[in-house]
């Protein structure tokens, strides 16, 4: 005997309802929707019990989902998804993992009425027992409701015999995860990293140092304002060098590092150009200690506010003149 549809419920992200032992969505039916006019009405779901999740109830699941989502999600047939992926050809493989495989497909305007022609990503889940089916069903219901410009959109699903599939919009530039963890580094990203190394050599600090004041923990962000000023640059050069460095060489090295850490990859120099620049620095003889630029502390620091010095060099307040502090010998 079919049960009557339950009352509307809001997304799990709004109510944080928990799942009980007897049903997946039973608790959701007891969640009352907000009276706020800003929340759009959500689909109504019939109470789905464990009996609905058996593999022999795929037809019933399809009926329930179709009744709940209407035209918001498409109930695809397995034959349709095989056709658009050329029977899940390896040539169309986008990725694979513990969840299964993802293949690229192309839907033409004749496949379904109202469905525009577009490229899609078809996830073929590797279902292992009842738990795998539950995860598939939860993903259909939750992602079927979510619509946000920063979230990949679920277009439809397939529940046929032993197969469980999901159909998403295709992201031609890949996911955020791929950009962060799976893409190969480019030559320009290597140049940026080398620019950070140049700063570490020039200043004598680590690229990230949590022991320093908040404004000085990130070496790149802290050092940038000093790199373009010859007058200010001498205040951040590694004090352990004790003036035994070329003033001109330090300036050119600072400008080179600044080019390497440019936010625009196109503005970063080639490694070959970097090597040539560094070779030239070896020939400079204008030592800071002999040119009067070391020590760097001005004669009068009466109006300067200086922090205490640690073993890693001077620190400066943004609101005060740039004045280093050094331990007395």
Which residues define the annotated binding site for ATP?
123
31 HSE (CA, 13 A, CB side): 22
Rounded to an integer, what distance in angstroms lies between the CA atom of residue 267 and that of residue 262? 6
- DSSP tag of 86: T
Measured distance between the N- and C-terminal CA atoms of the chain, rounded to whole angstroms: 92
Are residues 192 and 276 in contact, defined by beta-carbon separation less than 8 angstroms? no
> Which residues are annotated as part of the binding site?
123
Q: Which residue has the tokens 């070896």?
A: 282
Closest CA to 131 of 16, 6, 19, 9: 19
Rounded to an integer, what distance in angstroms lies between the CA atom of residue 88 and that of residue 124? 9
Rounded to an integer, what distance in angstroms lies between the CA atom of residue 257 and that of residue 193? 10
Are residues 155 and 73 in contact, defined by beta-carbon separation less than 8 angstroms? yes
Helices in the chain by DSSP H: which ranges?
A: 12-15, 58-69, 78-84, 129-145, 176-177, 187-203, 219-227, 230-233, 247-260, 271-281
Q: Which of 32-55 are b and which e, b meaning 16 or more Cβ less than 10 Å from the residue's Cβ?
A: eeeeeeeeeebbebbbbeeebbee
Token digits for 304? Answer: 């300067």
């Amino acid at each position: 005997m079919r049960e009557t549809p339950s009352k509307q419920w809001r997304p799990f992200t709004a109510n944080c309802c928990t799942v009980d032992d007897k049903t997946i969505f039973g608790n959701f039916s007891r969640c009352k929707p907000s009276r706020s006019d800003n929340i759009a009405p959500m689909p109504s779901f019939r109470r789905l019990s464990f009996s609905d999740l058996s593999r022999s109830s795929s037809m019933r699941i399809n009926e329930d989902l179709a009744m709940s989502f209407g035209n918001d999600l498409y109930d695809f047939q397995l034959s349709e998804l095989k056709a658009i992926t050329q029977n899940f050809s390896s040539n169309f493989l986008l990725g694979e993992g513990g969840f299964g495989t993802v293949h690229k497909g192309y839907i033409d305007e004749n496949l379904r009425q109202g469905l525009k022609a577009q490229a899609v990503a078809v996830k073929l889940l590797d279902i292992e027992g009842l738990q795998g089916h539950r995860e598939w069903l939860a993903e259909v219901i939750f992602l079927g409701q979510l619509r946000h410009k920063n979230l990949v959109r679920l277009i439809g699903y397939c529940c046929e015999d032993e197969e469980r599939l999901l159909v998403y919009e295709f992201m031609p530039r890949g996911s955020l995860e791929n950009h962060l963890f799976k893409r190969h580094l480019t030559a320009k990203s290597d140049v940026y990293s080398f620019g950070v190394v140049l700063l570490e050599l020039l200043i004598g600090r680590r690229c990230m140092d949590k022991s320093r004041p908040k404004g000085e923990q990130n070496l790149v962000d802290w050092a940038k304002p000093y790199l373009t000023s010859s007058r200010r640059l001498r205040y951040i050069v590694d004090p352990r060098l004790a003036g035994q460095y070329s003033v001109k060489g330090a300036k050119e090295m600072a400008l080179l590092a600044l080019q390497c850490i440019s936010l625009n990859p196109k503005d970063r120099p080639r490694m070959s150009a970097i090597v040539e620049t560094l070779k030239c620095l070896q020939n400079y003889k204008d030592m800071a200690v002999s040119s009067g630029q070391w020590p760097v502390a001005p004669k009068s620091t009466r109006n300067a506010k200086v922090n205490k010095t640690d073993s890693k060099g001077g620190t400066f307040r943004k609101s005060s003149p740039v004045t280093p502090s050094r331990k007395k010998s």
